[in-house]
Amino acid sequence: MKKIILSINPQHVEKIINGVKKFEYRTRVAKEDINAILVYCTYPTKKVVAEVKIKSILWDTPDNLWKRTKQYSGIDKKFYDKYFNGHAIAYAYELGEVTIYVNPKELIEFGCKYAPQSFIYVAC
C-alpha cells in the first residue's frame, strides 16, 4: 500500500504526537488506497517528523462529522467551521499508531522537492 505526505502546522503535529488529536481534517482525501500518513511539520521545522497509521477515513457533512469527531479533534469549533466553510462534505483521517522519527527526515528522502499543498503519494 501507499502512504501520503501531509503538511501539518507544528501546533497540530504536537497534538497528534501527544494523542490529543486523533482526526486530521481535510477538504479532500486520497483516492488511492493508503495505510499511513507521513507527517511533514511545516515552518520552522520543515521536516517529516512522524508516521501515523490510518484507522479509517470518515466523511460526512461538516456538522455531522464534527459531532462524530469533536472529542478528539484537537481543534476548536470556530477553527473547524472556518476550515470547512463553503464545503458540503468534510473528511477526516482517523489516526492510529504514531511512530515518531528520532531523526526527522528531509522531503527529498521521499522523492519530494517541495512540501505538498494538499498531499502527495509516496511508495515506501
Query: pLDDT digit string (tens) for 77-91?
Result: 999 999 999 999 999
Mean pLDDT score of the chain:
96
Report d(CA 75, CA 101) in Å as an integer: 24
48: which 3 cell numbers?
517529516
Domain boundaries, the chain: 2-122
Q: Note the pLDDT of residue 25.
A: 98
Q: Note the pLDDT of residue 29.
A: 96
Alpha-carbon torsion, ordered 62, 36, 122, 85, to 10 deg: 10
The segments of the chain whose pLDDT lies below 70 read: 124
Thinking of the domain 2-122, which architecture would CATH place it in? Answer: Roll (2.30)
Cα–chain center distance at 111: 19
3 state DSSP class of 86:
coil
